[in-house]
Structure formats: C-alpha cells, structure tokens
Amino acid sequence: MAVPGEAGSLRIEMPPPAPMKAEPGPRVLLISHQFPPTGGGGVQRICKMARYLPGYGWIPHVLTVQSESRPSVVDDKLLNQLPGVTHIHRAPESALRRIFRGARAAARDTGGGGRHGPSLPRRIARAALGRVRDHLLVPDEQIIWRRNAVRKALQVVQEYSIEALFSSHGPATNHLVAMQVAEQTGLPWVADFRDPWVKNLHFDALPPHRQQSERRMERRVVKRADAVTTVTRAFACSFRRRYSRERLPSVFLIYNGFDPADYCGAGAGEDDKKLTCVYAGALYPKRSPASILRAARQLIDRGEIDPGRLRLVFAGIFDYPGKSENRNLVRKLELDDVVRTVGHLPHAEAISLMRAADALLMVGDAHPRAGDYIPGKVYEYLALGKPVVGTLQQGEARDLLYRYSTALLACPNDGKKMTSHLRTLYHDWLHGTGIFEEKQRRPAVPRRYHRDYQAAQLAGIVNHLLGK
C-alpha cells in the first residue's frame, strides 16, 4: 500500500496526525521480547511508542516475555512512564529456554581454566552449544519463545479487539511472531527494523547455511508486512535496492530519538577539578575505546594532560562476561587512576551521569558499514548539548552531531586525529575557551527526533493502512 504522492521513493517520512483528546480509541499490539523490567538501549523505542501512542488515538497493548529469571540488565522504573491505558501481556518462556540458559552458564569460563584459557570440558560444552545455536536457535535464541508468544498474541487479539500489529527487530523472532499472527488474523502489520537483519554488522560472521536461512526469513517478513519502518536513510535505501524486483510494502523512515521529558533536572555532581568524560553503553571488539585510551596515555606521557585532572567514565558493558580486553588495556596503559567503570545504570541514572559530565565520549564501531547506523546515544547527546569527543565512521550519525552539537570526531582507527581532538578538548576545558565557551550556538534539534513525534508517525502509518 503506497502513500499518496510518495510511492516508490527511497525515503518516506509519514507526517504525524494531530494530537487527540484522551479518550478510548483503537488498539494496537506492540510485539517486543525486550521490555521492562529489562533495561538497555533496545527497550527505549518500544517503551516510548507505548508511552505516546495514546495521545494520537491508539491504545497500546504490549506483548513481551514472562521471564523466570532476573534480567541481566534491569530498569523497571521505565514502567512508571507508561500511561494507565497501556496493557502489558507476558508470554512465558519455554522450558527449553531455561535449559539452554543453564547450560550456557555452566559452559561459560568463570574460572578453573587458568592462564591457558578455558578447561577442556568447558571448551567442548561451548562448542556443542554453538552448534545447537547455529542449527536450531535460528534466527536467535528467542525463537524458543515463539510458540507461547503466538498463542498469547492470538488470545489478546480476540479478547481486546486488536486492530493492528507492530513488531520491532531485534530480536528477529519478534517479526516471526507478528507474521504468524498477521497470517492467522488478517490484521495490518508494521514491521519495524531499528537494526538491519541480514545487513547488520555481525551477519557475515554466521555460518553460510544460517545466512541463507535468515535471508529467506527476512524476505518472507518484508513481503508479508503491510508496511516496513526503519531508522536511517541508509537502511531504507538498502531495503529498496535488495527488494526492487519483488513486491515491497511502503518503507517509512521513523528515526530513533530522545524524549525531552527525560532530560529535565540537574545531574549528579562530579569533581569540577577534573575534565570528566562519560560513555554509557556497550563495548565490544569492533566498538573499542582503544584509540581514546591510547590518546590519553600519549598526551599524559608528553606532559600535555595532567592525569590528576582527567577522568574517563564508562557506564554499561565495559567487557562482556568472560572477556577482559578493555580492562587489560587500561592496566597495560597504566590508566587505572584515570578510567572509572560503573557498570550498567538505569536509564535515568545514566542520563544524570552524562548531564553532570564536562564532555561525552563517542565510541563508534570500526566496521566499514558502521556509517549506515545512527547509534541511539547520538540522540541522547543531542538532548544533553554537551561537547562530544571520540570515534565515529563517516555517515548520518556524524552529520547529526556536527550539525546540532559541538563535536570532535575521528574515524575509529585514526589514532593521530583522536590524540589531537583529546588535546583540544583538554586545552579548551582548562581555559574555558573553544568548545567550552558559553556562547556556542547550534540549530535547534528538529522535532522529528523527539519520541512523541515518532509515536505520532506510527499512528499515522497505521491510520493510513486502515484507511482512517
């Protein structure tokens, strides 16, 4: 179903409808395995859709998982942001999921391997689990939840007279649940890709047989959905290129963004005698702070930075369980007194930590296609209005930061430029000049990057599909 006047375009932004009075309206089922009390960046988009859809005439029902274990990342305060009309339905995990989780925990290297690495039994167990995951848990581990989720979704559709479906990737299982429900009910379905599926940065590392299987799955999802939404121009263009010879539903661009309501108030105070730079998020080998850490070491050794006046704070995942690359690098560079890790924080606390910082760190992915992405924290940085320093590939994210903030950005492997940027940041902070001058002026961040606007866009798309 095409949008009048924009059929066939590579980039479509649905203008939102006008806000409506708070009164009962049609119901939409939002399908997302990740939802509070689980925290992390992946839950923000679906949470904010649920928060603001009622203002545009739609009553949100959320289908998510009923987990018997405590999430590894918890942020149950996000539930307090949801309006009273929101209904949350939880489908239980299967017994297989519990068994697999227990086996994975037992196989994880938590000791006993010594300096030679994991013990032989653990290596065998991890290899066996890897084969199970690659052959049976496709496209992801959440596939075990699919049967219970579909059963619960069909029950909710019937009991509450649901009129539309919305599922958000990832995990990709969310789309498979929604597709089965759409096929059995005939309800209009919007498939949202906040991350690519087969064109994501990690897909090429999968075994060939699994890549082939997941390509077929994505094709089925895209061809069956009544509309596709995604979060960057590059992603929208990719869908058009790959499916140009097939039936493709309208592709709508609904950016990620930030909720201005989350950024009111003061941050927790930091030591004003130290240049405090904060990063809140997950790190992994291709999203590494190495060039930032090495730049700090180099400038300290040259006497251009006083180590007693620099603090680099990392909140979130500094090293994944069983890994220690970043911690080892901190020790090797003798930056233990400069680097502070605080672990995962609830979203509100992470915002408070960033608001109190002097500058915000950007740690971008080194993958050549990373420029197609806009990391969620880019929007947080726009909301906070702090100077930004770090690494990022050329692309939409860089363009946003340069346009609406004060940013010093280097490509992930450009250590020379990273060193120059950190030197500039420290010098300007020390003297209150340059990027720390009070009269820095930037254009206002457009409302299209606000969460309520994005919920309004989704409401407009669903209205269009239903002919309202």
Q: Which CATH number does the domain housing residue 365 bear? A: 3.40.50.2000
**Torsion sign (Cα): 109, 115, 121, 125:** positive
pLDDT tens by residue, 183-217: 999 999 999 999 999 988 888 888 898 999 999 99
Q: Name the pLDDT band for 10 (thresholds 50, 70, 90).
A: very low
> Are residues 271 and 169 part of one domain?
no
User: Does 349 lie in the same domain as 275?
Assistant: yes
Is residue 445 domain-resident?
A: no
Question: At residue 169, what are phi and psi to the nearest 5 degrees?
Answer: -90, 130
Q: State whether 244 and 364 are in the same domain.
A: no
Residue written as token pair 């408070």: 352
* Co-location of 366 and 418 in the same domain: yes
Do 233 and 346 sit in the same domain of this protein?
no
> Do residues 129 and 74 both lie within one domain?
yes
Neighbour tally for 306: CB within 10 Å: 13
The per-residue pLDDT for range 329-374, each reduced to its tens digit, is 999 999 999 999 999 999 999 999 999 999 999 999 999 899 999 9
Q: What is the mean pLDDT of residues 425-448?
A: 87
What pairing do the DSSP bridges indicate for beta strands 359-363 and 275-280? parallel
| pLDDT class of 135 with cuts at 50, 70, 90 | low
Q: Let me know: does 45 contact 449? Beta carbons within 8 Å.
A: no
Is 457's pLDDT higher than 70?
yes
Q: What is the pLDDT of residues 208-231, one digit of tens each?
A: 989 999 999 999 999 999 999 999
Close Cβ partners of 53 (under 8 Å, ≥ 6 residues apart): 28, 59, 60, 455, 458, 459
What was the pLDDT predicted at 322? 81
Q: Stretch 47-61: mean pLDDT, rounded?
A: 96
Please indicate, yes or no, whether residues 148 and 207 belong to a single structural domain of this protein: yes
Co-location of 81 and 174 in the same domain: yes
Residue keyed to tokens 């990740």: 34
Residue 222 belongs to what domain range? 27-257+450-465
Residue 65 lies in a domain: yes
Total number of domains constituting the chain: 2
Residue type, 340: R
Q: Strand pairing partners for 91?
A: 65
Q: How far apart are CA 389 and CA 278, in angstroms?
A: 10
Least Cα distance to 150 among 66, 63, 225 occurs for 63
Query: Which of 179, 165, 260 has its CA nearest to residue 216?
Result: 179
